A and B are shown apart, each in its own frame.
Chain A
Amino acid sequence: MKKKCFMVVVVALAVSFLMGAPFCYSAEPIKIAGIFALTGRAAHIGTSQRDAVILAIDDVNQKGGINGRMLEMVMGDTESNPTKAVMALKKVLESQDVVAIIGPTLTGTAMAMRGFIEKEKIPTFMHSGGDVILKAPLDKKDPNSMPKWTFKSPYKAADAMGKICQYMSKHGIKNIGFLYSNEGFGKDGLRNVMVQAPKYGVTVAAQEAFQPRDIDITAQLTRINAKNVDGIIAWTVGPAMGIIAKNIKQLGIKAPLFECHGAGDPIFWKVAGEAGEGVMMPSTKIVVGDQLPDTDVQKKKIIDYVKAYNEKFKHEPGTMVAYGADAAFIVIEAIKKAGPDRAKIRDAIENTKGYVGMSGIYNISPQDHNGLSMKDIVMIKATKGSWKLLE
């Protein structure tokens, strides 16, 4: 018995020595962390964002890395759960040499992580949709306590909503119904439409909620239709995007349907099928790269990236991929400029000016940790299994 114990100790010691021994590379890799919702309810978004980041890192490494040092990603899974997200954050921070974080996916997990990120002082580029991440002060009593280390790549939901309302008012749609999924993202949309619609002379005549997992939304649509609206906005990502389009067709509602800025994704066609025809939405330019005018500075970059993405993952990237890719590329640029130092990287990210990304042109500043504006958003129309650029 004693002999056995001794052997176990010896083996354990040997293993720990081997594991702990410094690898004899001439240049150690630079580590960045990627935290995504790889499982749980947002897994369909998280996994494609992970792919986008992997592609970006591979791209840099194939070109010889940064000053001869390869990039390496330490991955964490939030399981779409706030507590697990904080645990994943602490876990990736275990390796002291992680210089920056990309992710997480969901706004709820981002909010839970935010306080710890600020405390740990590590630059983090999130790709979650909610504006609240950047808008809400860290300390409720001090309205100036804005997050210093937190950035986010998707453009503000308020701008996306503004774009739709602008388009509507231009095309004579004045009286609309708003349909939202009853969770963080949908509620955020509801607040935004209440602010943006009046700006463009659009009235929200009806507002209805549904659960993200509902299998039928005709009851809500019937109620909206009873108000004789001439346009409907649906704010959700996931299966409901398709269910709403189908239900509208079933009920014979003539009012055009607009969906949110997350809908421009191959998933849309999978869930909506033929009923998706004619649905309009704001989007990043990534899904309509080849339709852009040649004068567009983003065009070449988007076409190259989409090609690479297609080759690696064998399917078209959606609008969510753009957010993941931009976050990764901006962080990588910052590392190139500032070297592997957390504080310097943060400053470099904050000074990103005129960066041409997939989602738009980023002009990040201390006041604006996102850096995109309404100009970067395009309106697209779902046409024959693909997308048509409207304006």
Chain B
Amino acid sequence: MDFSQQIAQYIVTGLTIGAIYAIVAMGFNIIHNATGIVNFAQCEFISLGGMFMYSLVVLFKVNLIISFFISMAGVALIGALIEIGPIRHARSKEIIVLIFLTIGLSEVLRGTAQEVWGTDNVGVPAFSGENPIHLLGGATIVPQHIWIFAITVLVMLMLHYFFKKTLMGKAMRATAVNRRAAALVGISVNRITLFSFAFSGALGAVAGIIIAPISTTSYDTGIMLGLKGFAAAILGGYGNFAGAILGGVILGLLESLGAGLVSSQYKDAIAFFILLLVLFLKPTGIMGYGEAERV
């Protein structure tokens, strides 16, 4: 295996991990835009997506495609319930209180998942086999990687269409810019918030589902993925969708190239160090415009 082949492999690997981070980052962004908070329960959406998929496909032998959509809907429902219940009824709308409320909620979800599924990691069958595919340039992937790319791109296109063309999407963007103004022009902010929680639940589930055949899944698999997804969102510019993709891909590449070329022990440290550097040079992330100062 010569050096150019190695590089090709690192890049392909980085792109796949990056695609997952990007989807997770999108989930963070949607809720941020509707409410201004960081939803740490996003981590649990990922785990739950994977575990629902496992239950349906492996335990109940349901068809793969049907399982995919049921899992997505299931997690979306949980996301919606979180919003209808605790988030909406929280007496304080202060951002930091809500952020830690999502941390409390994620403890509840994680604890429950541990009771339901136990603590073992479990595998989910790949969507279409595991025979390696050789790419030009010498890198190898498995069919699941193609699924990851395809689904990520599809999700991105759908999101783009949704936010640019549909009324609901436009309303969500308006709410992101200014909650109060949006409410004044007749947008139901509560409905937007509810929808955004369900939406990012579905997105988290997608991330958990498509990565499960590669990385296996467990009740707490989402913690690390969620953290990296949050980092990707921040790196790209929090709340910015193109930024989420860019942030995810950069973070994924940093990790795989860092492990391949520099040091596998320090790869996470390298990734986070560069993230800090970027923030110090451009405090609003690569594509962020910065938040308007509220006085």
Tell whether any CB of A sits under 8 Å from a CB of B in the complex.
Answer: yes
B-binding residues in A (CB < 8 A): 39, 41, 43-44, 47, 182, 208-211, 213, 215-216, 218-220, 222-223, 225-226, 238-239, 242-243, 246, 249-252, 267, 270-275
Q: Complex formed: what's the CA distance from A339 to B6 in Å?
A: 64
A251 touches B132 (CB 8 A): yes
A215 touches B264 (CB 8 A): no
Q: Complex formed: what's the CA distance from A168 to B285 in Å?
A: 50
Q: Complex formed: what's the CA distance from A311 to B74 in Å?
A: 34
Q: Complex formed: what's the CA distance from A45 to B267 in Å?
A: 27
Q: Complex formed: what's the CA distance from A249 to B132 in Å?
A: 8
B119 touches A47 (CB 8 A): yes
Q: Complex formed: what's the CA distance from A226 to B259 in Å?
A: 14
Known contacts: A215-B225, A219-B9, A223-B6. The answer to whether A44 contacts B121 by CB under 8 A is yes
**Residue of A41, A213, A223, A251 touching B140 (CB-CB under 8 A):** A251
Chain B positions 52 through 92: 1 when the CB is less than 8 Å from some CB of chain A, otherwise 0: 00000000000000000000000000000000000000000
13 residue pairs A–B, Cβ–Cβ below 8 Å: A44-B119, A44-B218, A47-B119, A215-B225, A220-B264, A222-B1, A222-B13, A226-B3, A239-B218, A243-B215, A246-B214, A270-B123, A273-B125
B6 touches A209 (CB 8 A): no
A274 touches B130 (CB 8 A): yes
Q: Which 5 A-B pairs have the closest CB atoms?
A: A215-B215, A44-B119, A213-B224, A43-B119, A219-B259
Closest to B252 in A: A216
A271 touches B123 (CB 8 A): yes
Residues of B within 8 Å of A44, CB to CB, are 118-121, 218
B29 at the interface (CB under 8 A from A): no
Q: Complex formed: what's the CA distance from A225 to B139 in Å?
A: 13
Closest to B6 in A: A222
B141 touches A250 (CB 8 A): yes
Residues of B in contact with A, size category? 35 or more
Closest to B225 in A: A215
B9 touches A222 (CB 8 A): yes
A216 touches B214 (CB 8 A): yes
CB distance from A259 to the nearest CB of B (A): 15
A272 touches B123 (CB 8 A): yes
Q: Complex formed: what's the CA distance from A340 to B228 in Å?
A: 52
B140 touches A267 (CB 8 A): no
Report B251-271 residues with CB < 8 Å from chain A CB.
255-257, 259-260, 264-265, 267-268
Q: Complex formed: what's the CA distance from A208 to B265 in Å?
A: 7
Residues of B within 8 Å of A238, CB to CB, are 121
CB distance from B223 to the nearest CB of A (A): 7
Closest to B121 in A: A239
**Residue of A213, A215, A216, A250 touching B223 (CB-CB under 8 A):** A213
**Residue of A218, A222, A250, A271 touching B216 (CB-CB under 8 A):** A271
Q: Complex formed: what's the CA distance from A71 to B240 in Å?
A: 61
Interface centre among B17, B257, B264, B265 (most CB of A within 10 A): B264
Interface centre among B120, B122, B265 (most CB of A within 10 A): B120
Instruction: Given contact pairs A215-B17, A216-B214, A246-B142, enumerate 5 new A-B contacts (beta carbons under 8 Å).
Output: A44-B120, A211-B224, A215-B20, A222-B1, A223-B6
B1 touches A267 (CB 8 A): no
Known contacts: A215-B211, A219-B9, A220-B264. The answer to whether A242 contacts B1 by CB under 8 A is no
Residues of A within 8 Å of B199, CB to CB, are none
B178 at the interface (CB under 8 A from A): no
Closest to A213 in B: B224
Q: Complex formed: what's the CA distance from A220 to B211 in Å?
A: 19
Chain B positions 204 through 217: 1 when the CB is less than 8 Å from some CB of chain A, otherwise 0: 00000001001110
B152 at the interface (CB under 8 A from A): no
Closest to B125 in A: A273
Residues of B within 8 Å of A274, CB to CB, are 130
B10 at the interface (CB under 8 A from A): yes
Q: Complex formed: what's the CA distance from A297 to B224 in Å?
A: 45
